[in-house]
Amino acid sequence: MSPEIIQPPEWAWYYIAVYFFVAGTSAGAYFIGAMEELFGSGGEREVSRAACYIAFPLLVLVPIPLIADLGRPERFWHLFIYNQGGYPYLNLVSPMSVGSWVLLIFSACALLSFLDNLVADRVISFPLFSRYYNRIPRRLYAVLGSLAGFFIAGYTGVLLNVTARPFWAATSPLMGALFIVSGASTGAAAISLYLIWRRRNSGGEVERLEAFDRVVMVSELVLIALLLVLAGRTALPLMTLPFVAMFWLGTVALGIVVPLWFKYRSRRHPFGDAPVLAHYLCILAGGLLLRISLLQAGQL
């Protein structure tokens, strides 16, 4: 009998891995937008605007899979209020508890940035809002939201690392780092896709975004390699069939290596619009498959 008797949580990948991906992408996009907002020239605002329009709508989707995966969905509010005492509850050593609270903070900041842009773009106008519009400390919640966003992108990895399941435990402490880096790269891809859709994908801002993305994707490859070294024998499931296709082909090859090669090449030989679009989609799909692979490899 195997001494490794630690049970898997049997989290459904179509809820939990998808949540990891959506939240990570939203957080990555928000952070990039905030960085542009804080340190950019202020002349072009396309990237930070795109980021705000992506981050919040994605976040709106997030509670659905999270609540659907609970054994008792109608009790989800127990995450915030201890039902037997009626007071707010926070467990500092449980990433799930802290993560739930930070998700609230991040959502609030993302909502503010979203509204802010709608008003700036004159899509909506609240007389009351407009009166106070210039007094809203925009930079403050951009900073707060970025910090919360980083937390949201990374805590899901830490959450896996602080369980006793062999693969998740062995990959400690790198899962959080990998999820942050992957979130930044899928966030950048989402922004680029939005800009293509709005036909605003040119100019210095987009170049800066690409340069940032290249750095991030190289570090993602390095982190994946380190993670596999740490995992050792516990990573063996990644060598079996569904994972060879999902992880090696999907995430590593099509999701990172090919897009990275494409990015370096297209600096000298610009490609047409279709391949550019496709490579962003590949990055997004790779990010999703990364979460599914790492979640499921720990649950086998």
Partner 1 sequence: MAKGMFVDTTICTGCKACQVACKQWNGLSAEPAHFGKRSGVPYPVADNFTGDSYDNTGTLSATDWRHVRFIEQIDESRREKRWLFSSDSCKHCSDAGCLNACPTKAIVRTDLGNVVVQQETCIGCKFCIPSCPYGVISFSEETGTAHKCTLCNDRIHNGLGTACAKACPTGSIRFGELADLKKRADARLAQLKGKGEQARIYGYEEADGLKVFYLFADRPKVYGQPEDPVVPQRRLVLCSLVTILTAIGVGAAALVNFRERLNGKDEEESNES
Selected binder of partner 1 within 23, 175, 246, 295 (CB under 8 A): 175
Selected binder of partner 1 within 159, 193, 195, 295 (CB under 8 A): 159
Q: Check the CA dihedral 16-9-152-190 and report its sign.
A: negative
Q: How far is the CB of 285 from partner 1 (least distance, A)?
A: 21
Residue with tokens 């008797």: 5
State the number of binding residues for partner 1 (CB under 8 A).
69
Residue 86, token pair as written in the block:
């009626």
* Cβ contacts of 221 within 8 Å, gap of 6 or more: 252, 256, 257, 260
Stretch that binds partner 1, among 87-95, 118-126, 261-269, 278-286 (CB under 8 A): 87-95
Per-residue contact flags (x/-) with partner 1 for residues 196 to 235, judged by CB under 8 A:
--------x--xx--xx--xx--x----------------
Dihedral angle, C-alpha 89, 90, 96, 100, nearest 10 °: 70
Q: Check the CA dihedral 30-35-38-43 and report its sign.
A: negative
Q: Is 8 in the site for partner 1 (CB under 8 A)?
A: yes
> Considering beta carbons, is residue 24 or 115 the nearer one to partner 1?
24
Q: Is 155 in the site for partner 1 (CB under 8 A)?
A: yes
Backbone angles phi, psi at 157, to 5 degrees: -70, -45
Residues 25, 28, 31: CA angle, nearest 5 degrees:
150
Q: How far is the CB of 139 from partner 1 (least distance, A)?
A: 15
Stretch that binds partner 1, among 29-37, 110-118, 126-134, 256-264 (CB under 8 A): 29-37
Q: Is 93 in the site for partner 1 (CB under 8 A)?
A: yes
> Considering beta carbons, is residue 115 or 192 the nearer one to partner 1?
192
Distance, CA of 227 to CA of 231 (rounded, Å): 6
Q: Check the CA dihedral 191-192-195-196 and report its sign.
A: negative
Selected binder of partner 1 within 106, 150, 247, 280 (CB under 8 A): 150
Q: How far is the CB of 149 from partner 1 (least distance, A)?
A: 9
Selected binder of partner 1 within 13, 15, 89, 129 (CB under 8 A): 89
Q: Is 41 in the site for partner 1 (CB under 8 A)?
A: yes
Residues interacting with partner 1, by CB under 8 A? Answer: 1-11, 31-32, 35-36, 39-41, 69-72, 75-76, 78-79, 82-84, 89, 91, 93-97, 100, 146, 150, 154-155, 157-159, 161-165, 168-169, 172-177, 180-181, 184, 204, 207-208, 211-212, 215-216, 219, 298
